[in-house]
Amino acid sequence: MKNIAVLVSGGGTNLQALIDAQSSGIIKSGKINLVISNNPDAYALKRAENANIKTAVCNKKELGNDFEDALINILEQNNTDIIVLAGFMCILSEKFTSHFANKILNVHPSLIPSFCGKGFYGLHVHEAALGYGVKVTGATVHFVNEIPDGGKIIMQKAVEIKEDDTPETLQKRVMEEAEWKILPLSVEKVCSEN
């Protein structure tokens, strides 16, 4: 049974999808034993507490250059095997990603290599997809390395774009139809193979 740590910054909808997948048996080769937020006010921390999962706050503004060292310390103290970035709004350095090589997963709200990399997060991704006029978008779960959205792809799922989509409606549909499905499946896949 792998120890899974989930890193969050905001509302925690992807975290909730993982908690629900663990409860329903989709994730069975690992267990979420820790949720860390860089934002002390993140609602995701409340979601974790409601599920009786240990939480920690690692505030980048307060820690400055010691942020990643503090993060590594907390993860190692909790015997973390797999790290999932679920709406974690911090870019991690090569020092951090190489320390946990092939152990960090991220979900990105597009079909990589489209609409990814620096500056492509949240609604920006969906605005770009709609602005470009693509007919299909989706989500990608990938390993994290030092290049934003640059790690090896684990799983992807396509979502059709509708004529009347706005960035907000598209974001919601990509989460519901793709992110919340492939993130738990990818976590189980990586836990079962490591």
Catalytic residues: 108
Coil, strand, or helix at residue 79?
Answer: coil
Strands 153-160 and 136-143 come out as antiparallel
d(CA 167, CA 98): 34
d(CA 15, CA 19): 6
* DSSP 8-class letter at 175: I
Cβ-contact 72, 92 below 8 angstroms: no
CA 33 to chain centre: 16
